[in-house]
Amino acid sequence: MIVVSRNDKLEGPDTVTSENWRSIRLLKRSDNMGFSFNETTIFAGTETRLWYKNHLEAVYCLAGEGEVELLDDGRVFPVMPGTLYALDRHDRHVLRAFTELTLVCVFNPPLRGDEVHDADGSYALLG
Ligand code: 9YT
Per-residue pLDDT of the chain in tens (127 residues, 90 and over written 9): 999 999 999 989 999 999 999 999 999 999 999 999 999 999 999 999 999 988 999 999 999 999 999 999 999 999 999 999 999 999 999 999 999 999 999 999 998 878 777 777 778 777 6
Residues contacting ligand 1 via CB (< 6 Å): 21, 23, 38, 40, 50, 57, 59, 95, 103, 105
The strand pairing partners of 101, in sequence order, are 42
Report d(CA 108, CA 56) in Å as an integer: 5
Distance 20 CA to ligand 1 centre (A): 10
Q: Which pTM value belongs to this model?
A: 0.93
Distance 56 CA to ligand 1 centre (A): 11
Cβ distance 49 to 26 under 8 Å?
no
Q: Count Cβ atoms below 10 Å from residue 34 Cβ, excluding itself.
A: 10
Question: For 16-108, which CATH class?
Answer: mainly beta
